[in-house]
């Protein structure tokens, strides 16, 4: 983990409300793995007080001796509104990389990325890694994206540039698929007959994860999901970013001694910190509220 003084190289609007920022941050760029995030202090003063977490979209060489990271974010509050007004040359205080990222399932042939809305940036670094392997014909990459409307669709060109099959669903129709990305996922797994040889990596709203649970269960397909929570610190100190987890599944995947998971005295559930135990979890580890 680094604390790094960064400089804004570029900040551009991708679609209404969605922005992409390039930041010089060589230390963080060299250490970041797919699915990890950073915490940003968006001003030099105490307002806004808390840092904001952002998944790293891509680590890049910008030329001229500048290496760093790219972020893709949506304006949802004061912090992101302040960020959208920043211009080249302004400074930001970064901490990262933070959290547990994605782990490739080397035992599977077909790797499916499933993303929705502002969850898409969390998948791109992993997509680049899988794309290289797909180019060597070591695996197959399938990319499934959705958005509420075509105007809110972001990063289509970037994902289509990867060595994979890209499928896009728009909720109100008018594109490859009409409906939700989870419906497209179920249809694809069924029609292609790949259930025994595929793995899923996903980021999006929690409702999307809930819809994925019966699909993964029915076809016995492993899935890793990147969870989102409001975070006060991002390093496990404030204990504000908990998610409920299944004890049996957690014990199957993790060394409890090195985790921050706390189990209840009775029953088969407990609580994990999204900032330290995640943000990436196996889908069967998480208990989604009804």
> Residue 95: phi, psi to the nearest 5?
-125, 130
> Quick count: other Cβ atoms within 10 Å of Cβ 238?
13
With pLDDT > 70 as the criterion, what percentage of the chain qualifies? Answer: 99
pLDDT in tens, 169-187: 998 877 878 889 999 999 9
Return the pLDDT at 267. Answer: 83
190 pLDDT tier (thresholds 50, 70, 90):
very high
> Is the same domain home to 21 and 128?
no
Between 95 and 1, the higher pLDDT residue: 95
The pLDDT-based confidence of 233 (bands split at 50, 70, 90) is confident
Residues 94 and 114 in one domain: no
105 lies in some domain: no
- Residues 6 or more apart whose CB falls under 8 angstroms from that of 191 comprise none
What do you get for the CA distance between the two ends of the chain, in Å?
Answer: 36
114 and 177, same domain (yes or no)? yes
Please confirm whether the linkage preceding 48 is cis (ω < 30° from 0). Answer: yes
pLDDT computed for residue 214 by the predictor? 97
SS3 288: coil
Domain boundary residue, one of 98, 133, 155 = 98
Do 148 and 210 lie in a common domain?
yes
Query: What is the C-alpha separation between 135 and 151, in angstroms, rounded?
Result: 31
Asked if residue 48 has pLDDT above 80, the reply is no
pLDDT band at 29 (very low <50, low <70, confident <90, very high): very high
For the chain, what percent of residues have pLDDT higher than 90? 81
Q: Contact 146/190 with Cβ under 8 angstroms? A: no
For the segment 98-137, what is each residue's pLDDT rounded down to a tens digit? 999 999 999 999 999 999 989 999 999 999 999 999 999 9
Q: Please tell me the predicted confidence (pLDDT) of residue 225.
A: 98
Residue 154 domain flag: yes
Question: 136-149, pLDDT tens digit by residue?
Answer: 999 999 999 999 99
Task: Count CB atoms within 10 A of the CB of residue 24.
Answer: 21
Domain count, the chain: 3
In a domain, 6, yes or no: yes
Q: What is the mean pLDDT of residues 215-244?
A: 93
Q: What are the DSSP calls for 83-126, one per residue?
A: HHT--TT-EEEEEEEESB-----TT-SEEEEEEEGGGTHHHHHH
Boundary of a domain, candidates 98, 118, 146: 98
Q: What sign results for the dihedral spanned by CA atoms 28, 31, 34, 39?
A: negative
- The whole-number average pLDDT for the span 34-57 is 87
Confidence of residue 5 (pLDDT cuts 50, 70, 90): very high
Range of the domain at 206: 110-226
Largest separation between any pair of C-alpha atoms in the chain: 58
Mean pLDDT, rounded, of the chain: 94
Shared domain check, 126 and 205 = yes
Q: How far is CA 106 from the centre of its chain?
A: 20
Binning pLDDT at 50, 70 and 90, where does residue 290 land? low
Does 212 reside within a domain?
Answer: yes
> Is pLDDT of 47 > 90?
no
Quick one: 120 and 69 in the same domain? Answer: no
Cα dist. 63→8, 19, 86 in Å?
14, 21, 21
For residue 63, the tally of other CB atoms under 10 A from its CB is 8
Mean pLDDT of 254-272: 89
Which residues face 242 on adjacent strands? Answer: 273
CA of residue 70 relative to chain centroid, distance = 13
What is the DSSP secondary-structure string of 125-180?
HHHHHHHHHHHTTSSEEEEEEEESSGGG--SHHHHHTSSSEEEEEETTSSSSEES-
């Amino acid at each position: 983990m680094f604390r790094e003084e960064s400089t804004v190289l570029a900040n551009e609007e991708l679609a209404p409300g969605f922005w992409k920022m390039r930041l010089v941050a060589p230390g963080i760029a060299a250490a970041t793995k797919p699915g990890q995030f950073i915490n940003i202090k968006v001003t030099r003063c105490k307002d806004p007080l808390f840092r904001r977490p952002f998944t790293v979209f891509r680590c890049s060489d910008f030329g001229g001796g500048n290496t760093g990271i790219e972020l893709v974010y949506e304006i949802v509050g004061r912090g992101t509104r302040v960020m959208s007004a920043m211009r080249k040359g302004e400074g930001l205080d970064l901490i990262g990389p933070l959290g547990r990222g994605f782990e490739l399932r080397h035992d599977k042939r077909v790797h499916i990325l499933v993303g929705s809305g502002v969850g898409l940036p969390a998948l791109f670094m992993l997509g680049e890694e899988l794309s290289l392997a797909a180019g060597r014909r070591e695996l197959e990459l399938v990319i499934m994206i959705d958005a509420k409307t075509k105007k809110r669709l972001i990063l289509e060109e970037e994902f289509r540039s990867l060595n994979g099959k890209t499928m896009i669903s728009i909720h109100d129709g008018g594109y490859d698929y009409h409906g939700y990305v989870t419906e497209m996922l179920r249809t694809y797994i069924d029609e292609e007959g790949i259930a025994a040889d595929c793995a899923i990596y996903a980021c999006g709203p929690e409702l999307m994860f809930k819809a994925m649970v019966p699909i993964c269960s029915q076809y016995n397909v492993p899935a890793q999901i990147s969870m989102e929570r409001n975070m006060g610190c991002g390093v496990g100190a404030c204990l504000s970013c908990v998610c409920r987890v299944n004890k049996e599944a957690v014990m199957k995947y993790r060394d409890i001694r090195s985790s921050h998971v706390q189990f209840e005295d009775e029953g088969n559930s407990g609580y994990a910190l999204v900032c330290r135990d995640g943000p990436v979890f196996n889908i069967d580890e998480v208990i989604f509220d009804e």
